[in-house]
Amino acid sequence: MKIMCQTQNGFRLAEEDLKMRGSGEIFGVRQSGLPEFLAADIVNDYNILEVARQEAQEVFKTPDRPEYQMMLADLDVDGGFD
């Protein structure tokens, strides 16, 4: 409630809520709490997650590049890493 008195910025409120309650399951049904597999903190690691997203997009746009071959060989047919 304190943060709601300090700002009316919806993005700031959402960020504080995320910090307090946790992200839940991004692809699941739980809407709060810590995910079972925590690879990164969405709030604190946003910049590196954005870089990783951009890099992954580049890999899948140009999969024939030699430097991607070893990594792509580790992908299974469902699109995940082994």
pTM over 0.75: no
Q: Does residue 64 carry a pLDDT above 80?
A: yes
- In DSSP notation, the chain reads -HHHHH---HHHHHHHHHHHH----TTSS--SS--SS-S--TTTTHHHHHHHHHHHHHHHHSTTSGGGHHHHHTB-TTSSB-
**33 and 55 housed in the same domain:** no
Per-chain mean pLDDT for the chain:
76
Q: Are residues 28 and 61 in the same domain?
A: no
pLDDT in tens, 33-43: 555 556 777 77
List the domain range (segments joined by +) for residue 30.
Answer: 1-37
Q: Tell whether 20 and 51 lie within a shared domain.
A: no
State the total domains in the chain. 2
Q: Is 53 or 31 the better-scoring residue by pLDDT? A: 53
